[in-house]
């Protein structure tokens, strides 16, 4: 680490543009929030939910039939996913998720495939709407509670308003931007997806607390140096996680819908965290440190 008085970051450049960089992070947050508000008034909810959260039927068929052809005969609102071998990529089965009853979907599949579906060549899961609604409510409560506990811990650690609010703002951005993206692409979120959003709170708070701690407490370096020192550590952590998560997503996307959903949401969240932390939170902390003369 450079312990001299020479700035690690070009001070003139960062001092000139840090507010603009912070503004970009806030534009991202408000754009996502605006879209979620629009989405809520349009659909009555903040996300598209799969059958695990709405109730319905999941039929998994051990077949290499063309899922594009199968999809044509399914009722509106149904989704179909291919399940493949992890080594060869060969399709082993496909699953159909729908809010229709088994008695409606099963005959359609049997007619298209040309044979009866039995316990040997298929499996069926059904979830009631009341149970799914209760499960969704509990997951939503857990997400809100986790965010509230994070807020308490942050305020306890730093005992100052602006830096603590900056951490919360970055964490909030890391949740709503991936949510807006999955809504935009029409992806249906399951219980595993809610768990991924919970995980994003942990990813977010790690880098934000690292940045805030260095900016406020490591006084032997200048503020730009402290921010850049935290950036080197934080971006290494986030990039390493992002590479691992992206690789896992591409490996599991045709094998395990549950895992691929988790990795997809985490990937979007980690990219968002880079922007919200090192553009938004860093800009707020620099402004705060200069105002309070924490050089």
Summarize pLDDT for 7-40 with one digit per residue, the tens.
444 455 788 889 999 999 999 999 999 999 999 9
What are residue 53's DSSP bridge partners?
none
Q: What is the pLDDT of residue 240?
A: 95
Q: What is the pLDDT of residue 1?
A: 41
Q: What is the pLDDT of residues 141-160, one digit of tens each?
A: 887 888 888 788 888 887 78
Q: Which domains does the chain have, with CATH numbers?
A: 11-49+130-291 (1.20.1640.10), 56-127 (3.30.70)
CB burial of residue 85 (10 Å; 0-12, 13-18, 19+):
exposed
Q: Is 279 left (phi over 0), alpha (psi -120 to 50) or beta?
A: alpha
Q: What is the pLDDT of residues 255-284, one digit of tens each?
A: 788 889 999 999 999 999 999 999 999 999
Q: What is the pLDDT of residue 278?
A: 94
Residue of 176 and 3 predicted with greater confidence: 176
In the chain, the percentage of residues whose pLDDT exceeds 70 is 93
In terms of Cα–Cα distance, which of 171, 173, 162, 154 is closest to 25?
Answer: 173
Q: What is the pLDDT of residue 132?
A: 62
Q: What is the pLDDT of residue 221?
A: 80
Task: Give the number of other Cβ atoms within 10 Å of residue 86's Cβ.
Answer: 11
Q: What is the pLDDT of residue 130?
A: 65
pLDDT above 90: residue 98: no
Q: What is the pLDDT of residues 219-246, one digit of tens each?
A: 678 888 899 999 999 999 999 999 999 9
Residue of 6 and 85 predicted with greater confidence: 85
Average pLDDT of the chain?
Answer: 84
Q: What is the pLDDT of residue 7?
A: 42
How is residue 20 written in tokens? 């603009």
- The reported pTM is 0.82
Q: What is the pLDDT of residue 123?
A: 84
DSSP codes of every residue in the chain:
---SSS-SS-HHHHHHHHHHHHHHHHHHHHHHHHHHHHHHHHHSSSSEE-HHHH-EEEEEE-----HHHHHHTSPTT-EEEEEE-TTT--EEEEEEEESS-HHHHHHHHHHHHTS---TTTEEEEEE-HHHHHHHHHHHHHHHHHHHHHHHHHHHHHH--HHHHHHHHHHHHHHHHHHHHHHHHTTPEE-HHHHHHHHHHHHHHHHHHHHHHHHHHH-TTS-HHHHHHHHHHHHHHHHHHHHHHHHHHHHHHTTT-HHHHHHHHHHHHHHHHHHHIIIIIIHHHHHHHHHHTT--
Q: What is the pLDDT of residue 177?
A: 96
Q: What is the pLDDT of residue 238?
A: 93
Q: What is the pLDDT of residues 173-230, one digit of tens each?
A: 999 999 999 999 988 888 888 889 988 888 888 898 889 888 887 667 888 889 999 9
């Amino acid at each position: 680490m450079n312990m001299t008085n020479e700035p690690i970051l070009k001070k003139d450049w960062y001092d000139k543009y840090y507010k603009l960089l912070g503004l970009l992070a806030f534009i991202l947050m408000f754009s996502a929030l605006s879209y979620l508000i629009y989405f809520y008034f349009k659909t009555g909810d903040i996300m598209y939910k799969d059958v695990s959260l709405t109730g319905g039927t999941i039929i998994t068929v051990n077949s290499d039939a063309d899922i594009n052809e199968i999809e044509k005969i399914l009722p509106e609102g149904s989704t179909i996913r291919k399940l493949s071998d992890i080594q060869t990529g060969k399709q082993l089965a496909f699953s159909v998720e729908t809010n229709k009853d088994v008695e409606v979907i099963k005959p359609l599949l049997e007619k298209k495939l040309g044979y009866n579906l039995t316990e040997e060549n298929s499996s069926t899961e059904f979830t009631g709407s009341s149970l799914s609604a209760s499960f969704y409510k509990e997951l939503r409560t857990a997400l809100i509670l986790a965010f509230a506990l994070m807020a308490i811990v942050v305020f306890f650690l730093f005992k100052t308003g602006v830096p603590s609010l900056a951490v919360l703002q970055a964490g909030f951005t890391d949740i709503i931007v991936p949510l807006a993206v999955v809504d935009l692409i029409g992806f249906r979120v399951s219980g595993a997806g809610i768990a991924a959003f919970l995980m994003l709170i942990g990813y977010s708070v790690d880098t934000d607390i690292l940045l805030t701690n260095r900016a406020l407490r490591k006084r032997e370096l200048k503020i730009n140096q402290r921010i850049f020192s935290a950036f080197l550590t934080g971006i290494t952590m986030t990039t390493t996680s992002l590479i691992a998560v992206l690789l896992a997503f591409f490996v599991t996307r045709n094998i395990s819908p549950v895992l691929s959903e988790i990795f997809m949401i985490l990937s979007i969240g980690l990219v968002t965290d880079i922007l919200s932390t090192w553009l938004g939170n860093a800009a707020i902390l620099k402004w705060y440190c200069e105002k309070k003369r924490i050089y």
